[in-house]
Structure 1
Amino acid sequence: MSLPNASLPNAPLLDFARALDFAAHKHIDQRRKGVRAEPYVNHLSEVALLVAEATAGKDPVVVIAALLHDTLEDTDASYEEIEQLFGAEVVQVVAETTDDKRMSKAERKQHQIDAAPHASTRAKLVKLADKVSNLRSMAHSPPADWPLSRKVEYFEWAHAVVAGLRGTDARLESLFDRAYHDGLAELRGQSV
C-alpha cells in the first residue's frame, strides 16, 4: 500500500521515483514525433536530468516538476491530482509550464514568448531544459513529414522563447545555444 505524499516528509528520492512512475504511466502510449519515435518518457527524463544538473540536485521540487511538466497538457492528469500527490509547489511549476490547449497553436506559441520573462525561476529552468531537449531531438530525429522550413521555424521560435529566459542559468543557456547552432547546421546538412 502506498502512503500519501503528506506522510513522506524529506523523502525527495521517493518523491522523484513516484513522479517518474506517474509520468511514465500517464504518457505510456505517447511517442516523440521524430523518425525514431522514441518513448515520450525519454524526453521527460532528459528534461529532469538537465534541471537536476542545473540545480546540483538541491531542488527536488523543480526536478519533479520537470518530470511532470507535460502531464497537464498532454494527458488526463488534473491539477488537483498532481497537487495531491506532489504538493502545491510542484503543481505550480507544472501549471506555469503548461500550454493552454484552448488557444490556437499560434496563440500558444506567442504566449510562450510573451510569458517567458515573467515566469518563476523554477519554471524558467524547466522551460530552458525543455527547449534544449526539443532542439536536440529535432536535430537528431526530426519529424519525417516536416519540411526544412518548418524545422528551422521551430528552432527560431524556441530561440525567441529562450530570449525571455536568459539570465536564469548560464549552463542551460549554453547548452541551448549549442543545441540551437549545432542543430541548425545538422538540419541544413541533412537537406543537401
Structure 2
Amino acid sequence: MAQEMLLSMPLHAITEIYGEAGLRDRFRLEIAALPDDDRGQLEDALELASRLHAEDRRVREPYLNHLLRVAIRILRYYGIRDVDVLTAALLHDAVEDHPAELAGLSADLSYKELTEAALAELGQRYSPRVAQLVGSVTNPEFDPGRDRHEQYRSHVVASLEHDPWARVIKVSDFTDNGVGVVHTTYDKARSSATKYRPLVPKLRELVARADTPLSPAAKDHILDQLDLAEERFAAILDG
C-alpha cells in the first residue's frame, strides 16, 4: 500500500480495511519526522499500551485501535507534536483499566492505591507531566449509589476546567467515541450516545477557550466533529 494513500485515509477507513496493522503503519508514518528521543518514547508507550490492553476488545476490534486513533488524530488533525501529550494519549486508559498490571502490584489493593501507584509508575517511566495528563483523564472510583454516566460527565468537566492540555486528549478520545459511534452495534451506540451527548455543549465551550492550546484551524476542525457527533447522537436517540 502506498504511503501517500495511507496518510490520506480517514482513520476509521484504515481500521475497517487494514485493522490494527494499518493503524500501526499510519502511526509510524506520522511520527517519522519527530526527533529520535521523542520517537523512542512513543514507540515505548505504544509497546506498553499493547501489553496492557492485549486482551481488551471494543465490541469487534482490538482496544489498541482506539488508542492509536486518539494519538494519530492529535498528530495529524490537531497538529500537536508534544511528545508528553502523545504519550499520554496512547496510555490514557492504562491507569483506569489496568492499574495493578502497570504498577506491578496486587489487584487486592484499593482503587485509589492502585491508581496512585500506576500514575507514579508513568511519572518515573516517562515524566511527571505524562502522569499528570493521564491522571486528568482517568475516572475516579464512582459511587455505586449514583448514576454512573452523570458522575463520569461531572468528572470530565471538573478535570478539564483547569487542564488545557488534557482537553486535547479528551476531545480526541471523545471524537473517536462520538463520531465513531456509527462503527459499532446498535446497543453499544445507544449506550454511548446516552453517555456522551450531554457533554457536547461543554466540550464546545472548552475547545473554544483562548487557553486551549490548539490552532484556530484545529479548533474549527474539532467543533465540526462535535457537530457531527451531535447529529449522530440525535439520530440514535431521537430518530
Shorter-normalised TM-score: what interval? 0.7 to 0.9
Match of 2:46 in 1: 20
User: How do 1:14-163 residues align onto structure 2 when only pairs under 5 Å count?
Assistant: 14-32=40-58, 34=59, 37-76=60-99, 77=102, 78-104=118-144, 105=148, 106-118=150-162, 120-142=163-185, 144-146=186-188, 148=190, 150-163=191-204
Give distance in 2, aligned partners of 1:129 and 1:71.
16
Partner AA of 2:50 in structure 1: A
Which contiguous aligned blocks of 4+ residues in structure 1 show a shift greater than 6 angstroms?
none
**Which is richer in helix?**
2
Contact 1:73 1:99 (C-alpha < 8 Å) held by counterparts: yes
Give distance in 1, aligned partners of 2:225 and 2:189.
25
Query: Cα deviation per residue 1:120-145 (whole Å; 9 max; x = unaligned)?
Result: 22100001001000113322214x54
Q: Calculate the TM-score normalised by the size of structure 1.
A: 0.78
Q: Percent identity?
A: 25
Partner AA of 2:171 in structure 1: L
Shift of 1:165: 2.3
Compute the RMSD of aligned alpha carbons. Answer: 2.6
Contact 1:61 1:89 (C-alpha < 8 Å) held by counterparts: yes
Q: 1:160 to 1:75 in 2, by over 3 A?
A: farther
Count of aligned pairs: 175
The correspondence for 1:174, drawn from 210, 224, 227, is 224
Runs of 5+ consecutive residues of structure 1 not aligned to the other structure: 1-8
Structure possessing the higher relative contact order (Cα contacts under 8 Å, 6 or more residues apart): 1
Give distance in 2, aligned partners of 1:126 and 1:39.
20
Contact 1:31 1:38 (C-alpha < 8 Å) held by counterparts: yes
Contact 1:113 1:164 (C-alpha < 8 Å) held by counterparts: no
Shift of 1:45: 0.5
Partner AA of 1:158 in structure 2: L
Give distance in 2, aligned partners of 1:92 and 1:155.
23
Give distance in 2, aligned partners of 1:10 and 1:87.
17
Match of 1:5 in 2: none
Q: 1:103 to 1:47 in 2, by over 3 A?
A: farther
Describe the SS at the equivalent of 1:132.
helix
Describe the SS at the equivalent of 2:140.
coil
Contact 1:139 1:184 (C-alpha < 8 Å) held by counterparts: no
Give distance in 1, aligned partners of 2:189 and 2:225.
25
Give distance in 2, aligned partners of 1:21 and 1:79.
17
Give distance in 1, aligned partners of 2:201 and 2:234.
18
Contact 1:128 1:165 (C-alpha < 8 Å) held by counterparts: no
Give distance in 1, aligned partners of 2:125 and 2:192.
37
